[in-house]
Every structure is written in C-alpha cells, then in structure tokens.
Amino acid sequence: MMKFFFVIFMVSCILACKSAQLSGLDNGDLLFVTAKDTGLSGAINNVTKKQENASFDHIGIVEKNREGVFVLHAAPKGGSQKQSVKEFIKEHSDEDRKVMIYRLKPQYQNAVPAAIRKAESMLGKPYNFNYILDENSYYCSDFIERAFREDHIFKLEPMTFIDPKTGTTNAFWQEFYQKKNLEIPEGEPGCNPNGLAASGKLDRIGELK
C-alpha cells in the first residue's frame, strides 16, 4: 500500500513540475524545435546552422489567454495554425528533438501584443512548401518574422542553399527544386529558424518538456 501511494505521489510531482513549467511561459515566447540530421530537417540545418548550441528547423510563438496556452505557427501539416502548447510539445518533441524556449529581451517586449495580433490574422493560410516568400502561404520562420515585422525585431536575409563543407549547392535542395521545376532561390530574401535564434534581441531560457 505504501508503495502504491509513493508511485501516485511521484506521478503527481512530475505532472506538477510540467504544469509549473508551462505556466512559466510568457506571452510572446518563441519555441524552437531542434533539427534532426536527415531529410528536410537535416537539409535545412545543413545550410542555415549558425551556432554549435543552436540547431533548429521549426519555430512557433506562444499566446497565453483565458482559454489556455497556445502556440501559433506554420507547419507542413495544417498550415498556419493555433495549437495547444501540450499538443505542440507532443507533436514536435521526442527522443531526437527538443523544444527550446527563447524570450525577447525586456527592451523588446513591447512588440509582443502586436506580434500576437498579426500572427492571429495569418491563421488559416496554407504552408509555403517552396520556401520562396509570397503573401498567400507561409513557412515557419517566415510566419514569425512577419508577426514581428512592424517592430523590426527580425530581418530578412539572402537565402543560401550551399553546403558550407563543400561550397556547392546541397544535393537535397538541388533535387528538391528540380522536382518542382523551380530555380533554386539562392540569394533571394528569406529567413530560417537558426537565423532567428541567433538574434541578439532574444534570450535563451531553456528546454520545454
């Protein structure tokens, strides 16, 4: 009997810790998902990684209101959407991926309300599978950059699809755009999760579990 109550106690403690961490999220926090080594995730990271401790392929923004805690983000499955933070964690974290919390530094926090409103206005748009900017579909970092654009929190930069180890176009991206019958948008304006994570306007808070 004592063992049974001990197990119940431990489970309660674990659930309480997770709830406490979720409640510790701030409105406007950015959730970055670590990249895998293969497939699209690995290809994105291969040409965009900027820091040894920052290797990401997805991003969303936290919205807290009376109804709960949500993540606004653009994903291949579902396009631009509003998802409960628990569902976001379930969908984007496993033994190979983690969700990391970044937060705007205090002097930039006044940009959050407008960013949330803008993100809400973009919900329902399809995912941009070409990763070439347009006004009718968004990819994940594009969605976040647009949300904060009014306050110039992030900036668009020339995109590159060149493997830094070889100095030539990454084979994945070469085949990717060839199948779409599109030219590789080398040098075109864009953004990516690693570039956003490297911004000096953000503080890295820690892992969300």
Question: Residue by residue, what is the 3-state secondary structure of the chain?
Answer: CHHHHHHHHHHHHHHHHHHHHHHCCCCCCEEEEECCCCHHHHHHHHHHCCECCECEEEEEEEEEECCEEEEEEEECCCEEEEEEHHHHHHHHCCCCCCEEEEEECHHHHHHHHHHHHHHHHHCCCCECCCCCCCCCCECHHHHHHHHCHHHCCCCCEECCCEECCCCEECHHHHHHHHHCCCCCCCCCEECCHHHHHCCCCEEEEEEEC
Flag whether 54 is in a domain: yes
Average pLDDT over residues 112-118: 98
Is 108 among the domain residues? yes
Establish if 15 belongs to a structural domain: no
CATH number at residue 190: 3.90.1720.10
Is 93 contained in some domain?
Answer: yes
Share of the chain above pLDDT 70, in %: 80
pLDDT of residue 70: 98
Range of the domain at 88: 25-208
- Give how many domains the chain has, as a whole number: 1
Locate 106 and state its tokens. 């205090």
Instruction: Please indicate, yes or no, if residue 116 is contained in any of the structural domains.
Output: yes
Is residue 195, in this structure, part of any structural domain at all?
A: yes
Domain membership of residue 7 (yes or no) is no
26-52 per-position pLDDT tens digit? 999 999 999 876 555 455 555 554 555
